[in-house]
């Protein structure tokens, strides 16, 4: 085997969390060095503006030329993820903990069978185009993420990663909010929705 094939085999293995965190920190470094900051949710605002929302509301009036880099960045995320699914896919689905597997089994979500793509990324058995309940909840989830991230001025990348790296108190409070909302959803709402 050549060295490059060995390298690809090595990358394909499931990553230790420290490697994942280091990878994200590398992205933070590159973006900062390139004069921008790591922020993804603003792309939703860009799409609003592209779709003509700037004619309805001044909030969406922006210089899209200044935002081209971000749209190319998210396009890159889609391409890089596709490449990973084709060439760097882990041999096994995500190894989540046994207690999470047991809990989800009790809710009718068998792991890893619930993901039709067998990667352990998303429960397609519940969230799919033929399950109306799944579609409605997916729409609600997407809406809350879009609304909340713009209201809070950023999402996980802008606040939890970039903002905290800059030691910002507003970002810390927003991240505390992420957990308040997430804990309420996962412990007190979602169990009754499946």
Does the protein bind another protein through residue 127 (CB under 8 A)? yes
Size of residue set near another protein by CB under 8 A:
125
Site string for another protein, 159-188 (x = CB under 8 A): xxxx-xxxxxxx--xxxxxxxxxxxxxxx-
Does the protein bind another protein through residue 7 (CB under 8 A)? no
**How far apart are CB 187 and another protein at their closest, in Å?**
7
Q: In 149-172, which positions are buried (b, 16+ CB within 10 angstroms) versus exposed (e)?
A: bbebebbbbbbbbbbeeeeeeebe
Question: How far is it, in rounded angstroms, from Cα 122 to Cα 117?
Answer: 9
- Residues of this chain, 129-158, that bind another protein according to CB under 8 A: 129, 134-135, 137-153, 155-157
Report whether 78 contacts 94 (CB < 8 A).
Answer: no
**How far apart are CB 2 and another protein at their closest, in Å?**
21
Angle of CA points 35, 40, 42, to nearest 5°: 90
Does the protein bind another protein through residue 105 (CB under 8 A)? no
Residue among 2 and 14 whose Cβ is closer to another protein:
14
The residue within the footprint of another protein, chosen from 20, 64, 92, 113 (CB under 8 A), is 20
- Residues of this chain, 31-70, that bind another protein according to CB under 8 A: 31-37, 40-41, 43-45, 47-48, 51, 53, 56-57, 59-60, 68-70
């Amino acid at each position: 085997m050549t060295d490059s094939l060995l390298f690809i085999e090595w990358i394909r293995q499931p990553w230790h969390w420290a490697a994942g965190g280091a990878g994200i920190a590398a992205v933070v470094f590159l973006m900062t060095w390139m004069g921008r900051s790591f922020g993804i949710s603003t792309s939703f605002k860009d799409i609003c503006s592209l779709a003509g929302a700037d004619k309805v509301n001044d909030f969406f009036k922006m210089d899209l030329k200044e935002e081209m880099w971000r749209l190319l960045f998210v396009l890159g995320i889609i391409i890089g993820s596709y490449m990973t699914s084709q060439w760097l896919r882990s041999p096994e689905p995500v190894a989540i903990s046994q207690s999470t597997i047991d809990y989800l089994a009790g809710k009718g979500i068998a792991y890893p069978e619930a993901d039709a793509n067998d990667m352990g990324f998303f429960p397609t058995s519940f969230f799919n185009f033929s399950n109306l309940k799944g579609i409605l909840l997916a729409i609600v989830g997407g809406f809350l993420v879009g609304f909340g991230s713009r209201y809070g001025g950023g999402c996980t990348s802008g606040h939890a990663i970039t903002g905290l790296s800059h030691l910002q108190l507003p970002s810390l409070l927003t991240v505390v909010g992420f957990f308040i909302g997430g804990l309420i959803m996962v412990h007190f709402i979602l169990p009754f929705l499946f």
